[in-house]
Structure 1
Amino acid sequence: MPSASASGAAATPGGTLPPTATSAPSQRIEVRTDVFRLVFDSAGGTLVQGELVLHTDFEHHDEKFTLLDDSPNRVYVAQSGLIGGDFPNHKTPMTLLPGPLSLSDGDSTLAVRFESADVGGVKLRKTYTLTRGSYAIDVKQEVINEGGSPVSPQLYLQLVRDGNKPPGESSFYSTFTGPAVYTEAKKYQKVDFKKIEENKVDIEKQATNGYVAMVQHYFATAWVLPDGVQRELFMRKVDSNLYAVGMITPLGTLAPGASKTIDATFYAGPQEEKKLEALSPGLELVKDYGWLTILAKPLYWLLDKLHGFLGNWGWSIVALVLLLKAAFYWLNAKAYSSMAKMKAINPKIMAMRDRLKDKPQEMQKEMMRIYREEKVNPMGGCFPIVIQIPFFISLYWVLLSSVEMRGAPWILWIHDLSAPDPYFILPLLMTLTSLLQTALNPAPPDPMQAKLMWIMPLAFSVMFFFFPSGLVLYWITNNILSIAQQWIINTRMGVPPQFNLPKFK
């Protein structure tokens, strides 16, 4: 694990950062708003700690969630500065200009200003403007040529962090942690730390739009420049287990006495889809639904609308699954009708198998004859269900990715839909409903298949003991509705529901 000092040695493209005097001790400055507790380092005016006061820590719920950090155990910082000469960079001592450091009641914004001394004839002034209720910080970088000759500096904006998984991240479900970039040309591109290590990064290098980001479960940071501003995008390994993603924009030639201002936005907060969409095109994609985004986004939209009506995320999950089951009612009806027919002819199939158990080819022909005469398609119960699988996988990713579930209560003992059930009641109910559903299905003629039908739901259920409660609730609801529909269809078809218990002899 890199130490805190490692982040101060980060290099940027366009040449190694020039050596800068660091003998003066840096100062840590704390800034507070209604959503942030931020810590800036006077070395470079760098943001070295970001605490989200409206979110609690994964492991210690009495503590606030820390997204950015620069400590002996963790490095995750936002840096900016100038390259192209011996200019102010993220290691240059800067002076905090006078002004308030906390957002007062009645104020909507808070401006925090840093200014460097003249370095290489250039002075850099940074202004961080924080807005009430917002995780987006406006960052104005003013570059002033105070020397006697023209200069051509470039501004870099970068995020530097270690390659470790975030504290409290569960190993039972896979979520992405690492850098990402977005451009109109190649859209959203995320890159594993391992690929940076192996120098296998293939991203858009030049653009006039988009952003760079560091992504983890539920939260993200991003640097955003205005559209039309030329920038070079980069990802690189900085040090042992330390990685950077960023962009460089040329400022052009500044004559003596001239200045240039670049406005950027720095985001550090939860992956709230609607707010990210409003901030920058494509920024909502840091909430990664994978290859099923085209289905997941409308499902999230519907879930959000249901929450607006019901006011409880748990009941919204139940309502969404109910709507999905209603939408697929006729497909499910066809599947369960096919299963009911299979169950009706199952005694005839089993008797035939016993009679011809030593004649496999004749057994196969006889089985096909029975299916043909009874007008039963053995795959008829599978196809309608297969069509629905992408929708339920998409819903899985919606629930797993949505920060709104974090700390959201449902009923009674479920105080956090993003955390596992502390008493394992929901996973046990999920296991029981899965086994009940298996028992209602017709037993496969093949004994090995019949055993697998019981082993698979049991093995699958084990994982759910460690899954977020919201995911388990969605699966239980789906199971219960499936059992109810299957029971009704079997009864209507004159095939009394019966339980096919496992035989492991």
Structure 2
Amino acid sequence: MDDQNKNMILATALSFLVILGWFLLFPPEEPPAPAEQPVAEIGGDPATADVAAAPPAPDATATLPVESRDVALSAASRVQIRTDEVTGSISLTGGRIDDLSLVDYHETLDPDSDIVRLLSPVGAPGAYYTLYGWAPGGALGFEDVPGANTEWQIESGTELTPTSPVTLVWDNGNGLVFRRAMSIDDKFMLSVTQSVENSTGSDVRLAPYGIVARHGEPDTVNFFILHEGVVRMSDGELQEIEYGDMEDLDVNAAEAAQVEIIDVAENGWVGFTDKYWMTTLAPAPGQSFRSVAKFVPSANIYQTETRLPTQTVAAGATTEVQTFLFAGAKEWEAIKGYEENLGILGFVDSIDWGWFFFLTKPIFWLLHELNLIIGNMGWSIILLTLIIKAALLPLAWKSYASMAKMKELQPEMEKLKERAGDDRQKMQQEMMQLYKKEKVNPAAGCLPIIMQIPIFFSLYKVIFVTIELRHAPWLGWIRDLSAPDPSSILNLFGLLPYAPPEAGSIFAIVSLGILPIILGISMWMQQKLNPAPTDPTQAMIFAWMPWVFMFMLGSFASGLVLYWIANNTITFVQQYFIMRSHGYKPDIFGNMVSGLRKKSAKKDT
């Protein structure tokens, strides 16, 4: 490779190291714990237009938070939710779905640790819930429609399960009877059908809506490659809004909030996403609505809303509207199933595939399919690496053949360097003549590296954001491929009775586990097959690179380090046999001894 190509590779590698080093040594500050916030009320001006009226802004003077989640749960009568995947309850006050935990997901690897809690009631720390209702239109007032504190009654059903739906009812005493029929499948999707029966003797106008409300900014991972906050699809256009950016939305004086509204013609959904969990509202496909992202500064409440068109209910008639609520884990198979079976357009894009979505999606699909066959994500990653390397083999063959030829030309290049001395221009000219004579392309060796960069980042994204890798074991001590290698050289990999350093500490960076050490060795062995740079500075940097990467990648997810080890090993085997097929017999350990002798000779002189 000529100096220009070497500089390009060097710049890429150093930039990567700088970025990694910055985020390891100066991680983003943890957001402050959200303060307890008052109850969000629903209210506002009556609707007179053909589109949904705005639900009212939260009332900052409402009831103060209680001391604990248990007390908040006991403050209202409840209907239990029980499935194999979720457990929780629905508050009859407001008909809120505000208590939901995920049965199959624990906070830590300890099977006795708490299961993941998704939704919490108003008054509890980190209140997070969904609320449905009707905004009044025409002559109706807010006292005529159900709101946040309406006391619902159970009309049918005793608990919400996949085989037993529940219907709540509320009679306003003035001729309107409201019902809310809810059902749940065996995963994470609820169907909510709101209806109103009009026996007032005259037409009434009102507009259905759904709300997901979150009190205070939640504790997030806060990592630059991951989106957490509002996620929504509007007729095929995906939008993501970070929590901090919601505070910069346009001010809407009528709603006493900062709001962004998108009119959706046929298909859309909106909600909040965390790294692995999501709560999303999705009107029935074909239904127009207004998709709303809202921040209420007076109460520090974040909201997403679906405002459906205002409806006219004739005297003696009944109208109803169905919406879906996803509340659970972002399992690819489940979400894809809802997209295909319920027609929720683009729902699989609620998973944060990133800029390289054209790579992350097929890579994850292949990894998922391999895991279904093998039953182990670690071995699936290794097999995935083998498949990727096989697909790139034609390109790699040309590249490694060129490297083999370059390796053969090393003695000639050393002679050119001696003859040229300090005349770099003369050396470059003679090197180009040598390349031309021997029919060698010095840039060919860059192609595998260039191809590996987007694949590496795409797999990093897949391992970091997909829940299928969370707490996924490989073998032995690797019990979570989404977490760093837990072993440590400081306690001789568990032989000494000392706990390894805490993750994120400076000692964790230098402690090194078994996988990072294997990574460094695999990078060093692969490097020994490549021709050394003629420039001493570049040669020194390339010589140190495997060991620098060993430390830098040591704190990355085990699954990613495992991929890199597998990639290096397969690359080494491919390159070794390709070089031998071209008549060059690499001597890895001979190169190492020769290099040490050269260093020793330089010291003696």
Band the TM-score falls in, shorter-chain normalisation: 0.7 to 0.9
Query: Which runs of 5 or more residues in structure 1 are unaligned?
Result: none
Following the alignment from structure 1 to structure 2, what is the Cα–Cα distance between the partners of residues 353 and 235? 65
Q: Aligned residues: percent identity?
A: 32
Q: CA–CA distance in 2 between the matches of 1:455 and 1:151?
A: 76
1:351 is displaced (CA, Å) by 4.0
Residue 67 (structure 1) aligned with residue 118 (structure 2): yes
Partner residue, 1:219: 277
- Which amino acid letter does the alignment assign opposite residue 237 of structure 1? F
Counterpart among 305, 315, 335 of residue 379 in structure 2: 315
Structure 1 position 123, deviation (Å)? 4.0
Over 3 Å counting, the alpha-carbon distance change for 1:454 and 1:287 in structure 2 is: farther
TM-score with structure 2 setting the length = 0.74
Within-5 A mapping of 1:241-390: 241-279=300-338, 280-390=344-454
Cα distance in 1, alignment partners of residues 414 and 404 from structure 2:
16
Aligned to 2:191: 138
- Decide whether aligned partners of structure 1 residues 316 and 121 sit closer, same or farther in structure 2, where only a CA change above 3 A counts: same
Instruction: Report the alpha carbon displacement of residue 203 of structure 1 after superposing the two structures with TM.
Output: 7.1
TM-align CA RMSD: 3.2
Equivalent residue number for residue 46 of structure 1: 96
Where 1:79 maps in the other structure, the secondary structure is strand
1:478 aligns with 2:536: no
Instruction: Answer whether contact 1:437 1:479 (CA < 8 A) is retained.
Output: yes
Change in 2 beyond 3 A, CA 1:491/1:111: same
In structure 1, the residue matched to 2:225 is: 174
The aligned counterpart of 1:113 is: 167
How far did residue 10 of structure 1 move? 6.7
Q: Does the Cα contact within 8 Å between 1:175 and 1:216 map onto a contact in 2?
A: no
- Judged with a 3 Å threshold, the aligned counterparts in structure 2 of structure 1 residues 308 and 2 are, in CA distance, closer, same or farther, namely closer
CA deviations over 1:211-243 (Å, ceiling 9, x no partner): 113222222222111122220111111236532
Aligned match of 1:153: 206
Instruction: Tell me, in whole angstroms, the C-alpha distance in 2 between the residues paired with 1:355 and 1:122.
Output: 98
SS for the counterpart of 2:373 is helix
Q: How does 1:229-248 map to 2 (within 5 A)?
A: 229-239=287-297, 241-248=300-307
The residue type equivalent to 2:81 in the other structure is V
Amino acid at match of 1:496: P
Whole-angstrom CA distance in 2 between matches of 1:462 and 1:91: 55
Query: Is the deviation greater in 415-424 or in 327-336?
Result: 415-424
1:122-149 Cα deviation digits (max 9, x unpaired): 4432222123x22111111122335454
Query: What is the alpha-carbon distance in structure 2 between the residues aligned to residue 37 and residue 183 of structure 1?
Result: 31
Distance 1:119 1:296, change over 3 A: farther
Deviations along 1:144-188, whole A, 9 cap, x unmatched?
A: 335454322111112223574656x485x732111111133x432
Q: Report the more deviating stretch, 210-219 or 54-63.
A: 54-63
Secondary structure of the residue that 1:140 maps to in structure 2?
strand
Question: How far does the alpha carbon of each residue in 1:400-428 deviate from its partner, in whole angstroms, 9 at most, with x for none?
Answer: 33322223222122222222221122222
- Residue 526 of structure 2 is aligned to residue 437 of structure 1: yes
Which of 20, 36, 40 aligns to 1:8? It is 40
| Distance change >3 Å, CA 94–CA 264, structure 1 → 2 | same
Q: TM-score, normalised by structure 1?
A: 0.87
Is 1:448 the counterpart of 2:501? The answer is: no
CA contact (8 A) 1:93 1:116 kept: yes
Q: Match for residue 17 of structure 1? A: 56
Which residue is 1:469 aligned to? 558
The match for 2:132 is 80
Q: 1:331·1:385 contact (CA, 8 Å) conserved in 2?
A: no
Match of 2:149 among 59, 71, 91: 91
Separation of aligned partners in 2, 1:119 and 1:175 = 49
User: Shift in Å at residue 320 of structure 1?
Assistant: 1.4
- Please, which runs of 5 or more residues in structure 2 have no aligned partner? 1-32, 45-51, 64-73, 251-258, 339-343, 488-512
**Rounded Cα–Cα distance in structure 2 between residues aligned with 1:19 and 1:295:** 42
